[in-house]
Amino acid sequence: KNEVEQSPQNLTAQEGEFITINCSYSVGISALHWLQQHPGGGIVSLFMLSSGKKKHGRLIATINIQEKHSSLHITASHPRDSAVYICAAQSNRDDKIIFGKGTRLHILP
Amino acid sequence: DAGVIQSPRHEVTEMGQEVTLRCKPISGHNSLFWYRQTMMRGLELLIYFNNNVPIDDSGMPEDRFSAKMPNASFSTLKIQPSEPRDSAVYFCASRIYLANTGELFFGEGSRLTVL
């Protein structure tokens, strides 16, 4: 079993829909990262959080430390949100960052 | 700031050749990571440095891979000899290591194709 699991693996939605991507992890963490990668593009850090919730524009990330679960939400989704979203857990034991396999999001116009 | 700078952006080489990938982290960042991304395995950590010192190289696939960080502003990842299965996108990332926190900043990646 992977230490960081994301769901769904693939998600197609219509423009305007509310999107939720889930991440569960099994290691103790000091931080949880959400990253975005556009097709053929580089990787951009969206959020780094260790508790509670963070918001940036239409993106919201939440984390529940007790349940070892984090979610990334996108409100009023837009085709330019189409990308791969990657969850990464930063181990509190050795600072290693463990990546999920990513969620491929496709927003249809 | 220019961000994390990687070179080359693309490299095509033949099996058996030596490949050197380069990374310049963001000025002031003291942690540097090398990752490899493939369709099959996703993102994998190869090695990371804190203050130019290799901390964990357990992700380096085998002895053909080596990485150095001679100073705070430069790192190399070398593959010798290269093999077709090394074809991947190699990312470098840096951050400020401070009490286990610090947002990651990625370079654009180096796409390696070994024929």
Residues B13-66: pLDDT tens digits?
Answer: 999 999 999 999 999 998 999 999 998 888 888 999 989 999 888 889 889 999
Residue A39 pLDDT level (bands cut at 50, 70, 90): confident
Q: What is the pLDDT of residue B49?
A: 93
Inspect the interface and report whether the beta carbons of B91 and A42 lie closer than 8 Å.
yes
Closest chain B CA to residue A29: B100
Q: For residue B26, what is the DSSP state?
A: P
Q: What is the mean pLDDT of chain A?
A: 93
Q: What is the pLDDT of residue A96?
A: 79
Q: Tell me: cis bond preceding A109? Omega within 30 of 0 counts.
A: no
pLDDT for residue B101 is more than 70: no
User: What span, in angstroms and rounded, lies between the C-alpha atoms of A6 and B101?
Assistant: 22
Alpha-carbon gap: B16 to the closest alpha carbon of chain A (Å)? 27
Question: Is the Cβ–Cβ distance between B80 and B18 less than 8 Å?
Answer: yes
Q: CA angle, corner B78, sides to B90 and B92, nearest 5? A: 30
Residue A34 pLDDT level (bands cut at 50, 70, 90): very high
Burial label for B42, CB within 10 Å (0-12, 13-18, 19+), is middle
For chain A, say whether B49 makes contact (Cβ under 8 Å): no
Amino acid at B14: E
Inspect the interface and report whether the beta carbons of A42 and B106 lie closer than 8 Å.
yes
User: What span, in angstroms and rounded, lies between the C-alpha atoms of A54 and B64?
Assistant: 42
For chain B, say whether A38 makes contact (Cβ under 8 Å): no
Alpha-carbon gap: A19 to the closest alpha carbon of chain B (Å)? 22
Closest chain A CA to residue B36: A99
Q: How far is CA A26 from the centre of its chain?
A: 16
What is the mean pLDDT of the segment spanning A61-81? 97
Q: What is the pLDDT of residue A57?
A: 96
The size of the A-B interface in CB pairs under 8 A is: 55
Q: CA angle, corner A23, sides to B50 and A5, nearest 5? A: 80
Q: Which of B42, B56, B104 sits opposite A96 (nearest CB)?
A: B56
User: What span, in angstroms and rounded, lies between the C-alpha atoms of A32 and A47?
Assistant: 8
User: What span, in angstroms and rounded, lies between the C-alpha atoms of A26 and B47?
Assistant: 22
Q: Tell me the CB-side half-sphere exposure of residue B13, using CA atoms within 13 A.
A: 23
Q: Tokens 């959020």: give the residue.
A: A47
Q: Tokens 């700031």: give the residue.
A: B1
